């Protein structure tokens, strides 16, 4: 569970930062804008304040290419400075270019996404790359961005231990998983937060998405797991609860163990029972880390400072709660539509054409939630999309861990590469998820050749 090389590197980097800090005119903190990124940014902010350093902080939603973003920003940075990248990082080539122009910028990479190396140039010595994937760690299951940023801040100053609860929020948003499945450093940091009394662990119904609600609402709002038999319909939930003699007005947290077992049995969804985390200091929606994280991610992309602000509140503002509920309802209704839609199913793929059925902006989200909820045959690759505004065919592609295991470790990105080889178009991604586009005339060929394509990647 412990990775000594990684820990040593993180410790050395923290020591170097403490040694170098006096020479910096300012510190620049750049962080991602989803829940993982926002909570990472909050940790770095507090860490810098405790060191009494002059800093500027920016949330970056990755809507611009890195090269454009960082060079434009770089002009305004004081020289020498330190740049801390939290929960995101430019590719190696952009870092090399930046440091050729500004050799006195020191770079601290505190990110967990797969690092894109420059094919020719090595990173200069003033780049401290703490990316845990370089040390063989899984940058999701074992350590997410906020876990890494927390460990770094704690290495800088023990007092930053009081920020462990922020890690619980970021983890909820990135892993989309039950606490029981947390591994390695994610688990370690959660246990630390529990031990320090910053968060609490409970066992019971995990209707993630509606955990703060009365039980009839919670079950219909649940997106992890999505409950197919309820179809997001509260009346169906009420009837079901009545049959079980359970008051639908009961809060999820107040259900007795016997009631919990009855609900799980009735809905035939074992994953509805498990461990969940709350923040005792906060109430309502913000009491529950999964919902808290979802809300931050909804707000953060367009308004990072508002999302940042949310971390300081103990209760959710009304307008944001409305926004949250709308977002949640859309996911539930889209998953219900997804289940009912006609699909093209071959022996190794499922293709769903959502043209004119669900808005383009939701396709990728449905792909993700359909996958984590396992509501299609996991042994097959999922293509979900349709005709784009530009007139070509655009797909979100998903492969489950089981699919990847069955295909010699190959998944989404390898399939997309082969599709682009055969039919042109564009695309990319990683093993589990990716996106692609092809010409509309090539679409019939895709459905015809997809089994052959997937067969061929098994032997890559």
Q: How far is the CB of 307 from Mn ion (least distance, A)?
A: 14
Angle between helices 66-74 and 92-101 (to 10 degrees): 20
Token pair of 274, please? 């498990």
Segment near Mn ion (CB under 5 A), from 83-91, 92-100, 264-272, 360-368?
83-91
The DSSP secondary structure of 230-257, one letter per residue, reads GTT-HHHHHHHHHHTT--TTSBGGG--H
Residue placing its CB nearer to Mn ion in the complex, 18 or 114: 114
87 binds Mn ion (CB under 5 A): yes
Strand partners, 353: 385
Segment near Mn ion (CB under 5 A), from 168-176, 266-274, 355-363, 377-385?
168-176
Residue placing its CB nearer to Mn ion in the complex, 48 or 140: 140
CB atoms within 10 A of CB 400: 21
Segment near Mn ion (CB under 5 A), from 68-76, 81-89, 159-167, 266-274?
81-89
Residue placing its CB nearer to Mn ion in the complex, 148 or 227: 148
Token pair of 90, please? 């430019």
- Closest by CA to 53, choosing from 30, 23, 79, 73, is 23
Spatial distance between the Cα atoms of 178 and 203, rounded to a whole number of angstroms: 11
Spatial distance between the Cα atoms of 53 and 51, rounded to a whole number of angstroms: 5
90 binds Mn ion (CB under 5 A): no
Q: How far is the CB of 36 from Mn ion (least distance, A)?
A: 3
Spatial distance between the Cα atoms of 416 and 397, rounded to a whole number of angstroms: 8
Segment near Mn ion (CB under 5 A), from 173-181, 294-302, 376-384, 437-445?
173-181
Q: How far is the CB of 111 from Mn ion (least distance, A)?
A: 8
36 binds Mn ion (CB under 5 A): yes
Q: How far is the CB of 321 from Mn ion (least distance, A)?
A: 25
Strand partners, 398: 382, 433
Residue placing its CB nearer to Mn ion in the complex, 241 or 433: 433
Q: How far is the CB of 362 from Mn ion (least distance, A)?
A: 21
CB nearest Mn ion: which residue?
36
Figure out which of the listed residues 97, 174, 216, 418 binds Mn ion, where binding follows CB under 5 A: 174
Query: Segment 133-162, which members bind Mn ion (CB under 5 A)?
Result: 145
Total residues contacting Mn ion (rule CB under 5 A)? 4
Q: Residue 376: what are its φ and ψ, rounded to 5°?
A: -145, 170
CB 287 within 8 A of CB 165: no
Q: How far is the CB of 145 from Mn ion (least distance, A)?
A: 4
Rounding to the nearest 10 degrees, give the CA dihedral for residues 444, 449, 450, 451. Answer: 140
Spatial distance between the Cα atoms of 302 and 314, rounded to a whole number of angstroms: 22
CB 3 within 8 A of CB 32: no
Segment near Mn ion (CB under 5 A), from 79-87, 286-294, 397-405, 406-414?
79-87
Query: Segment 376-435, which members bind Mn ion (CB under 5 A)?
Result: none
- Closest by CA to 307, choosing from 58, 43, 39, is 39
Q: How far is the CB of 150 from Mn ion (least distance, A)?
A: 13
Q: How far is the CB of 115 from Mn ion (least distance, A)?
A: 13
Residue placing its CB nearer to Mn ion in the complex, 87 or 89: 87
177 binds Mn ion (CB under 5 A): no
Strand partners, 86: 31, 110
Segment near Mn ion (CB under 5 A), from 4-12, 172-180, 235-243, 430-438?
172-180
Segment near Mn ion (CB under 5 A), from 16-24, 50-58, 169-177, 286-294?
169-177
Spatial distance between the Cα atoms of 258 and 240, rounded to a whole number of angstroms: 16
Q: How far is the CB of 47 from Mn ion (least distance, A)?
A: 18
Spatial distance between the Cα atoms of 189 and 150, rounded to a whole number of angstroms: 8
Q: Contact positions toward Mn ion, by CB under 5 A?
A: 36, 87, 145, 174
């Amino acid at each position: 569970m412990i990775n000594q090389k990684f820990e040593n590197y993180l410790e050395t980097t923290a020591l170097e930062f403490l040694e170098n800090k006096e020479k910096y005119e300012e510190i620049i903190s750049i962080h991602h804008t989803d829940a993982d990124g926002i909570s990472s940014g909050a940790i770095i902010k507090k860490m810098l304040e405790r060191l009494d350093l002059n800093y500027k902080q920016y949330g970056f939603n990755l809507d611009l290419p890195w090269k454009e973003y960082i060079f434009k920003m770089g002009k305004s940075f004081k020289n020498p400075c330190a740049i801390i990248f939290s929960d995101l990082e430019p590719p190696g080539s952009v870092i090399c270019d930046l440091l050729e122009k500004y050799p006195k910028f020191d770079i601290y990479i505190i990110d967990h996404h797969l690092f894109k190396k420059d094919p020719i140039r090595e990173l200069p010595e003033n780049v401290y790359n703490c990316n845990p994937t370089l040390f063989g760690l899984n940058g999701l299951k074992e350590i997410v961005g906020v876990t890494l940023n927390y460990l770094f801040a704690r290495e800088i100053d023990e007092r930053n231990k009081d920020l462990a609860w922020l890690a619980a929020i970021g983890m909820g948003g990135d892993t989309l998983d039950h606490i029981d499945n947390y591994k390695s450093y994610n688990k370690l940091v959660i246990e630390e937060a529990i031990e320090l009394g910053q968060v609490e662990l409970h066992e019971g119904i995990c209707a993630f998405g509606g955990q703060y609600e009365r039980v009839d609402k919670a079950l219909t709002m649940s997106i992890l797991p999505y409950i197919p038999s309820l179809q997001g319909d509260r009346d169906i939930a009420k009837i079901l609860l009545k049959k079980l003699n359970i008051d639908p007005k009961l809060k999820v947290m107040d259900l007795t163990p016997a009631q919990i077992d009855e609900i799980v049995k009735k809905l035939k969804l074992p994953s509805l029972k498990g461990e969940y985390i709350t923040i005792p200091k906060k109430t309502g929606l913000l009491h529950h880390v999964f919902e808290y994280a979802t809300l931050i991610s909804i707000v953060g992309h367009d308004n990072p400072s508002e999302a940042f602000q949310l971390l300081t509140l103990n209760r959710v503002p009304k307008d944001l709660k409305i926004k949250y509920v709308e977002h949640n309802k859309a996911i539930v209704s889209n998953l219900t539509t997804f289940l009912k839609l006609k699909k093209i199913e071959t022996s190794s793929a499922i293709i769903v054409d959502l043209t004119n059925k669900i808005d383009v902006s939701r396709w990728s989200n449905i792909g993700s939630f359909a996958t984590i909820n396992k509501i299609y045959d996991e042994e097959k690759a999922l293509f979900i999309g349709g005709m784009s505004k530009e007139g070509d065919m655009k797909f979100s592609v998903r492969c489950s861990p089981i699919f990847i295991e069955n295909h010699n470790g190959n998944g989404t990105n390898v399939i997309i590469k082969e599709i682009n080889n055969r039919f042109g178009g564009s695309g990319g991604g990683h093993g589990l998820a990716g996106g692609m586009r092809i010409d509309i005339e090539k679409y019939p060929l895709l459905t015809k050749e997809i089994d052959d394509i997937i067969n061929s990647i098994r032997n890559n």
